[in-house]
């Protein structure tokens, strides 16, 4: 959501209770979800430069 690359697997009790063992969490904005896009570092820089 915020275009941060600071993510990690969501190991919260809520995630486990729902059976979402492959959910990810953004440490910058707190967004959680099953799908996080993967980009190479060069592409991330290009995307962040275009962000208003």
Q: Where are the domains of the chain?
A: 7-50
- H-type helices in 1-52, by residue range? 13-17, 41-50
The pTM of this model reads 0.61
Length of the chain as a residue count: 52
**Residues 15-40: tens digit of each pLDDT:** 777 777 778 888 989 888 887 777 78
User: Which strands sit side by side in the sheet containing 32-33, from one edge to the other?
Assistant: 7-9, 24-26, 32-33
Q: Is pLDDT at 3 greater than 80 in this prediction?
A: no
């Amino acid at each position: 959501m915020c275009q941060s690359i600071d993510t990690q697997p969501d190991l919260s009790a809520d995630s486990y209770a729902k059976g979402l063992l492959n959910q990810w969490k953004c440490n910058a904005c707190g967004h959680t979800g099953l799908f996080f896009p993967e980009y190479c570092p060069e592409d991330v820089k290009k995307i962040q430069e275009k962000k208003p």
